[in-house]
Copies of this chain bind each other. A is one copy, B any other.
């Protein structure tokens, strides 16, 4: 894992995005233990463990902010019989679906994905 050290500028160039945004998201990935970084000259970021030990489910968990099905904008009217219960039922549905999704992603590693690049 000592290999493959890249600067945020380099990564930003590849995905056409601002380097600071890259560093921000990298900061998040670091907190989730997926990457590590080296400061100073010739510094950069690298995977915290080998790619074949990183599951896509881990990445998904680190990266996503909300449920795959969405969860925002929900302050229903508590006076409404349906509105009063909807969040509870949606949450349980979302969780169930999300579990399926995680199981699926948990079967794939980053190395597999990276292997598709020729």
Contact = CB atoms under 8 A, between A and B. Distances in A.
Interface of A: 13-17, 56, 60, 68-69, 73-77, 80-83, 85-86, 89, 93, 96-97, 100-101, 104-105, 108, 113, 116-118
A73 B18 CA distance: 12
A64 B112 CA distance: 28
- Copies of this chain per assembly: 2
A72 to B, nearest CB: 12
Contact of A80 (B13, B56, B74, B77): B13
- For the residues of A in contact with B, the DSSP-based class is helix
A36 B32 CA distance: 46
Nearest to A60: B69
